[in-house]
């Protein structure tokens, strides 16, 4: 027979569908605790946990609840670190692999919402919607011509990454009459074409696109990927969009590219620090549309994420391999630990 799978989460917001699904499983014990106020309390609450379901928002939780070597050493029964979202910034996946701990995320659960938000940012910058809204609320005596916008139809969008979100952006962009290029080193040219884009190099995406939109994960290969040199290589008057993760693009370099007039503007949902400080130079640019990492914050997306994450944990309780395993190389060691920790003699 098997011991119950103990799942622990802290009380940062999660859709109720997560708790409801797990509590319907007789072989799973869910514990929900108030956010701990020290590393010691964190380790005490997680000491017997098999699964730690942790917020993906690194700036909304204290660093001592991040899944690091230190936390893993204090939690010898931990089998899985499960992210609330598609990102997993608070989880050190390499440390988990060394410890035999599976890492799962909920990629795809918010893809529709983030893709729609991406097009919303593009429309807002191109048609100067947010800029017009701000001026109309505080000024009079300006002409409509000072807010002349640009149509998206007939332009080119270049996607950096064409996974769950990027492929949906490609479909929406085509509906608006845009041509779509994509750079994704993880996919073959044929696969990129099957996802609705023409395969391209990063350099060509930057040089040829009227809109450059990021849809790649933040990892060692993408941190600082879009730097001052990359912005300089973009077409004059192009628009930069990111609904991916802060840290992939250089915010200071982007501000310089916009204030110099090289780029027409940007739509940004993600930041190095979230929320960014009020005196952030990008927030003073009229042609920047800024949102607070809300692209995936819709009722539909939050429920999808909750159900996907709960189902993955249910599959783990059954001894199955989850479909969104971030560190697949951990599986042999994880399987041995699973048997040792959860399987008991009859």
| Residues annotated as part of the active site | 245, 274, 293
Dihedral class, residue 3 (left if φ above 0, else alpha if ψ from -120 to 50, else beta)? beta
CA distance 94 to 112: 29
Q: Which residues contact 85 (CB under 8 A, 6 or more apart)?
A: 55, 56, 57, 105, 106, 109, 110, 296, 305
End-to-end CA distance of the chain: 5
CA 166 to chain CA centroid, nearest Å: 12
CA 184 to chain CA centroid, nearest Å: 16
| CA-wise closest residue to 327 among 136, 67, 4 | 67
């Amino acid at each position: 027979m098997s011991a119950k799978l103990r799942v622990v989460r802290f009380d940062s917001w999660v859709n109720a569908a997560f708790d409801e699904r797990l509590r319907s499983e007789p072989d799973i014990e869910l514990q929900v605790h108030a956010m701990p106020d020290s590393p010691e309390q964190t380790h005490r609450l997680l000491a017997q946990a098999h699964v730690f379901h942790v917020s993906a928002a690194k700036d909304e939780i204290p660093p001592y609840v991040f899944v690091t070597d230190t936390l893993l050493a204090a939690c010898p029964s931990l089998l899985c670190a499960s992210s609330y979202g598609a990102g997993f910034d608070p989880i050190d996946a390499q440390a988990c692999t060394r410890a035999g701990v599976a890492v799962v995320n909920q990629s795809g659960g918010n893809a529709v919402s983030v893709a729609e938000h991406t097009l919303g940012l593009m429309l807002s910058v191109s048609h100067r919607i947010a800029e017009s809204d701000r001026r109309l609320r505080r000024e009079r005596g300006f002409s409509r011509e000072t807010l002349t916008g640009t149509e998206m139809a007939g332009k080119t969008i270049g996607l950096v990454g064409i996974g769950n979100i990027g492929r949906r952006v490609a479909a929406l962009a085509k509906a608006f009459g845009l041509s779509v290029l994509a750079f994704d080193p993880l996919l073959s040219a044929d696969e990129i074409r099957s996802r609705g884009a023409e395969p391209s190099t990063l350099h060509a995406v930057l040089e040829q696109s009227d809109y450059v939109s990021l849809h790649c994960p933040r990892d060692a290969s993408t941190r600082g990927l879009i730097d001052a040199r990359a912005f300089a290589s973009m077409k004059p008057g192009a628009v930069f969009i990111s609904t991916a993760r802060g840290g992939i693009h250089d915010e200071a370099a982007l501000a310089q590219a916009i204030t110099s007039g090289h780029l027409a503007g940007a739509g940004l949902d993600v930041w190095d620090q979230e929320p960014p400080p009020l005196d952030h130079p990008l927030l003073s640019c009229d042609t920047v549309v800024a949102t607070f990492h809300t692209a995936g914050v819709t009722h539909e997306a939050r429920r999808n994420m909750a159900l996907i994450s709960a189902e993955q944990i249910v599959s783990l309780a059954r001894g199955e391999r989850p479909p969104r395993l971030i560190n697949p190389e951990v599986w042999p060691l994880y399987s041995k630990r699973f048997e040792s920790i959860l399987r008991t003699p009859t």
